[in-house]
């Protein structure tokens, strides 16, 4: 059985890249957008806790004080069951706050990312008369 001779450069390439499934997985994980997504998920989870605390500790007591109704209310239904509409309203308020904050963050990010870019100006639309004159000009040049 003959042995295949592999030079040092090929060995270095194989070690660096990896082979098969593990190599593809390593390439996938080390891609920049996957790492950004992971950071976003972690920060989003932490931010969710902040928004929930804001809603539970500040917004709900304000609603209770102004309206005189308790946000964490229940509606009793048959069989000892109840509908917890207060938790549902709290979840909606949390969602609206988080969506607004994310909207503002993305809007700010888009403004910052577009600072250095030049706007591409569209050519003004030519009138019918100009287009006709250009056709006549081109036809005269062709006939010469």
Where are the domains positioned within the chain? Answer: 9-114
What is the fold of 9-114?
1.10.1200
Is residue 55 exposed (0-12), middle (13-18) or buried (19+ Cβ within 10 Å)?
A: buried
- Mean pLDDT (the chain) is 76
Cα 71 from chain centroid (whole Å): 31
Residue-level pLDDT at 39: 75
Residue-level pLDDT at 137: 92
Residue-level pLDDT at 19: 63
Q: Which residues of the chain have pLDDT under 50?
A: none
Tens-place pLDDT, residues 53-94 = 887 787 777 777 766 656 666 777 887 887 777 777 777 888
Alpha-carbon gap, residue 48 to 33, rounded angstroms: 22
């Amino acid at each position: 059985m003959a042995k295949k001779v592999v030079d040092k450069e090929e060995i270095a390439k194989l070690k660096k890249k990896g082979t098969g499934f593990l190599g593809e997985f390593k390439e996938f994980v080390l891609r920049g957008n996957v790492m950004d997504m992971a950071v976003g998920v972690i920060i989003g989870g932490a931010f969710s806790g902040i928004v929930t605390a804001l809603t539970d500790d500040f917004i709900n007591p304000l609603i209770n004080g102004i309206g005189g109704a308790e946000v964490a209310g229940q509606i009793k239904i048959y069989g000892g069951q109840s509908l917890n509409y207060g938790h549902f309203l709290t979840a909606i308020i949390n969602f609206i706050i988080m969506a607004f904050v994310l909207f503002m963050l993305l809007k700010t990010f888009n403004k910052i990312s577009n600072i250095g870019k030049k706007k591409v100006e569209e050519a003004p639309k030519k009138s019918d008369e100009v287009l006709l004159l250009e056709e006549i000009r081109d036809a005269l040049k062709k006939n010469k």
